[in-house]
Structure 1
Amino acid sequence: MSLRKEIISELEANRESYVTFLQQLIRAASPNPSGDTTEAARVIKGYLLENGIKPEIVAPLSHAPNVVADFQGGKGGGQRVILNGHIDTYPVEKPDAWEKGPYSGYNDGSMIHGRGAVDMKAGTAASVIAYAILHKKAESLNGSVGLMAVSDEESGGKWGTRYLIENYGNRWLGDVVLNGEPGGLQSIRFGEKGTLRITFTVEAQGLNGAYTFLSRGANIVASRLINKLLQLEDIESPLPEEVRKHFNSRARKIADNIMGEGASEVLLKPTVNIGTIHGGVKVNTIAERCVFEADIRLPIGLDAATILRLIDQYLVDFPQASYKVQEAASNPANFCTADHPFAETIAKCAEEFTNFKPVMLAGLGGTDCKFYRYRGIPTFVYGPSPKGMGGSDEAVSIDEFIAVVKTHTLAAWDYLYKG
């Protein structure tokens, strides 16, 4: 039996143990905020130790450890593959709304339930399992493999992926990166929209509510400004040709199927979401001050400077308003070449296990992949369906999870094995 067939046989034989590992990881609550991932990190560390791997813990924040490990293949030099995923999750706002409980890890026979099942404990578990299997076959591989199960992704990555990249030199950069964020088995993500986060402040004259003829008030001005900001959604991005060629009719149809009807249009244009609004003291007074936040998602090809110039033009008609960009929460759109041998390897393995060759797409949401793509490192996402992520009763398909496990494992193996 070939080494590759041995790996596939092992993957098939241990399916139930992989599901149990994912359940344990989901039961280890790691909402961000607060960002405490110590229990989830313990589960991952325990799994690696059980498989003969001694991981390292890098914890710039004591409550948000990063679990890392790497090995050099026995065949010497070659490419370095990084398997990257995060272990923090969205918080649970309404625990009572969950039929199975937010951290139950309940297995109903086809789905595993719980916060983070989709985003992204299934993907991270897949990378951990893949790393453990590859580690057993290290002597047959060229190059090397690194595993990063990180914290802090949901709050920007400062103490997770970004920290490891900036403080440990080339060790955690690699030549190519594979990530299991939810993207859908029908696609491989090679880019994602950027984020421009802005805080707007509107100042106006405060008066009794009967005197609106003297001052419209900060809240009224803010509402008019918000309507103006929504005009940004009419801008279509000048996509680079190397990206546009992947947005053919098949890819657009699959994007709508994965992310919801209209996703293919939103990928090409900015979106504007208005977050928390603070303004006014009493209903019968004219508010002096209103503060609100805007989350503007930038498609590939459209930069923040272009949007800010338009906002500056808008504010000519709103002299009461000013804004400040939240630099730490704002990141440019990013992409890497989609025509890369590793991307083709991932696609072939995915097709082998799903009977569907995935298309190359960009994502709507931000991930830690941006830190690699900004440095020119080809970085690809292959993970389960994003449906249900962040919502009550979040759950991941067991079959999709196993397909991701197999694809991550064999994609790294095929890319590094030269036998």
Structure 2
Amino acid sequence: MATKHEILSEIDTNFPEYLTFLQTFIRAASPSPPGDTTEAASIVFDFLSSHGISAETIAPQPHMPNIVTDFDGGDRSGPRVVLNGHIDTYPVGNPDEWKHGGPYSGYNDGLQIHGRGGVDMKAGTAASTIAYILLKKRAQKLKGSVALTVASDEETGGKWGTRYLLEQGGKASPWRGDCVINGEPGGLQSIRFGEKGTLRLTFTIRTKGANGAYTQLSRGANIIAAQLIQRLLEIESMTPHLSEELRKHFDSSEVRLVANEIMGPGTAEILLAPTINIGTIRGGFKVNVIPEECVFEADVRLPIGLLAEEVMDHVYSILKDFPEASVSKQEAPSNPANYCSIDHPFAKHIADTTEHITGRRPVQLAGLGGTDCKFYRYLGIPAYVIGPSPRSMGASGEAVDIAEFKALIKIHTLAIWDYLGSNA
């Protein structure tokens, strides 16, 4: 226990330095799009270097570098744990709506650090980076190995980030590992063992145009689009195919309460249900002209147990009633739902550690949004998310709780410390 106590004491002692690192990281703007993370990546690289750690930059796109590094424990026969996080953030819609010096201030008000990306997910990435440093100092007491992958391009699909790292070298890629911990926002009350998938669709309606007074000649593309959108809501009634064990887990009162607590009332109901959102709509150029074409995009979120092919079959059946409409699938942002075991030993260590640090045992949940963990799970690698509260992510005034950031450093460090069989 002496060494575990030593780790916690070191985090407490050095926390002002860690907080400065997070503030500097937030101040290095990295909105995606455009996805330029060079400045923010250099902050991580330099922080590692300042602690005597050599890291490698892998940049298939020069403006989207990925920072990677790894080490072996004193006994190399154990599992390999990967700490994974991303650098890029949501863009900023209206900088004037931000207080405390703008969207990239890194302002410390005593309780929170303000700035775009603090929640999603620079606090989590910083915590993983610090955990890696703390563990490497004690490498000889660990059984197995640890890798750190700080990736770009998460917000726009991961092609040049985590996905690239995992695909290069195939099964021999050193960045795959045996299990993964990730600090995406999810709340310290939960461990995310899976997440909904995404099916992104583009619908195009083409009709005969006319003067707005001659509706007997054509209902117009926009009217037909509105009717089609109403029918597409049928997707939300589709039922996923789940094992009885998973269904009972999601239906438990504890899981439902925590899901609603973290992500808001009604969350428990949509964890197992598909949802559809209609985004960009383009159609018409003048109010008194019947438009010939309307194009709109639909974002369908697929719960665990529901395949995109099933949804597409339903969409095609609806389109039989809309001969003017066609649909195409956006391949890059479309990914299946994914999950891993809720009983993996590493997940138990994360839960035990979190309970020790926060006094509350987290429950296993699935996320509503996507993370880079999906790429590991697609390869059969268990990947778990535990990070700060998601309540302000992506919003004007995004801010991460300082106490949660500190707890997160401790959780990421000690969960791996215990899992890799320390002697302390």
Identify the TM-score tier after normalising by the shorter chain. over 0.9
| SS of alignment partner, residue 324 of structure 1 | strand
CA offsets 1:296-316 (integer angstroms, 9 cap, x no match): 000000011111111111111
Is 1:412 the counterpart of 2:412? The answer is: no
Counterpart-to-counterpart distance in 2, 1:294 and 1:214: 28
Task: Give unpaired runs (5+ residues) of structure 1.
Answer: none
Deviates more, 1:225-234 or 1:392-401: 225-234
CA offsets 1:352-379 (integer angstroms, 9 cap, x no match): 1100000000000001000010111111
Deviates more, 1:161-170 or 1:197-206: 161-170
Is 1:245 the counterpart of 2:248? The answer is: yes
Q: Quick check: 1:134–1:409 contact (8 Å CA) kept in 2?
A: yes
Counterpart-to-counterpart distance in 2, 1:125 and 1:330: 28
- The residue number in structure 1 matching 2:68 is 68
| SS of alignment partner, residue 327 of structure 1 | coil
- The residue number in structure 2 matching 1:15 is 15
| SS of alignment partner, residue 343 of structure 1 | helix
Q: Quick check: 2:165–2:173 contact (8 Å CA) kept in 1?
A: no
- The residue number in structure 1 matching 2:306 is 302
Deviation of residue 151 (structure 1)? 0.1
| SS of alignment partner, residue 173 of structure 2 | helix
Deviation of residue 2 (structure 1)? 2.0
Deviation of residue 418 (structure 1)? 3.9
CA offsets 1:204-254 (integer angstroms, 9 cap, x no match): 000011111110000110011011111211223232234223211111110
Task: Give unpaired runs (5+ residues) of structure 2.
Answer: none
Counterpart-to-counterpart distance in 1, 2:381 and 2:103: 36
Is 1:378 the counterpart of 2:378? The answer is: no
Deviation of residue 45 (structure 1)? 0.5
- The residue number in structure 2 matching 1:135 is 136
Counterpart-to-counterpart distance in 2, 1:99 and 1:229: 40
Amino acid at match of 2:194: G
Amino acid at match of 2:115: G
Deviation of residue 18 (structure 1)? 1.2
- The residue number in structure 2 matching 1:56 is 56
Counterpart-to-counterpart distance in 1, 2:255 and 2:187: 12
CA offsets 1:185-221 (integer angstroms, 9 cap, x no match): 1000000000000000000000011111110000110
Is 1:176 the counterpart of 2:191? The answer is: no
- The residue number in structure 1 matching 2:196 is 193
Counterpart-to-counterpart distance in 1, 2:86 and 2:215: 51
| SS of alignment partner, residue 122 of structure 1 | helix
| SS of alignment partner, residue 201 of structure 2 | strand
Amino acid at match of 1:138: A
| SS of alignment partner, residue 77 of structure 2 | coil
- The residue number in structure 2 matching 1:83 is 83
- The residue number in structure 2 matching 1:39 is 39
Q: Output the TM-score relative to the length of structure 1.
A: 0.99
Deviation of residue 162 (structure 1)? 0.4
CA offsets 1:122-174 (integer angstroms, 9 cap, x no match): 00000000000001111111100000000000000000000000003330110
Q: Quick check: 1:246–1:361 contact (8 Å CA) kept in 2?
A: no
Counterpart-to-counterpart distance in 2, 1:99 and 1:213: 53
Is 1:144 the counterpart of 2:148? The answer is: no
Amino acid at match of 1:142: K
Amino acid at match of 1:36: D
Counterpart-to-counterpart distance in 2, 1:300 and 1:293: 22
Counterpart-to-counterpart distance in 2, 1:253 and 1:317: 41
Counterpart-to-counterpart distance in 2, 1:106 and 1:53: 28
Amino acid at match of 1:196: L
| SS of alignment partner, residue 76 of structure 2 | coil
| SS of alignment partner, residue 78 of structure 2 | coil
- The residue number in structure 2 matching 1:115 is 116
Is 1:322 the counterpart of 2:326? The answer is: yes
| SS of alignment partner, residue 127 of structure 2 | helix
| SS of alignment partner, residue 191 of structure 1 | strand
| SS of alignment partner, residue 339 of structure 1 | coil
Q: Quick check: 1:58–1:66 contact (8 Å CA) kept in 2?
A: yes
Question: Alignment identity in percent?
Answer: 62
CA offsets 1:8-41 (integer angstroms, 9 cap, x no match): 1101111111111110100000000010000110
Counterpart-to-counterpart distance in 1, 2:37 and 2:18: 20
Counterpart-to-counterpart distance in 1, 2:372 and 2:226: 34
| SS of alignment partner, residue 201 of structure 1 | strand
Q: Output the TM-score relative to the length of structure 2.
A: 0.97
| SS of alignment partner, residue 71 of structure 1 | strand
| SS of alignment partner, residue 307 of structure 1 | helix
Total equivalences in the alignment: 419
Deviation of residue 328 (structure 1)? 1.3
Deviation of residue 391 (structure 1)? 0.6
Is 1:349 the counterpart of 2:353? The answer is: yes
Counterpart-to-counterpart distance in 1, 2:118 and 2:242: 33
Amino acid at match of 1:294: A
Deviation of residue 94 (structure 1)? 0.4
Counterpart-to-counterpart distance in 2, 1:93 and 1:211: 40
Counterpart-to-counterpart distance in 2, 1:267 and 1:129: 32
Counterpart-to-counterpart distance in 1, 2:243 and 2:33: 36
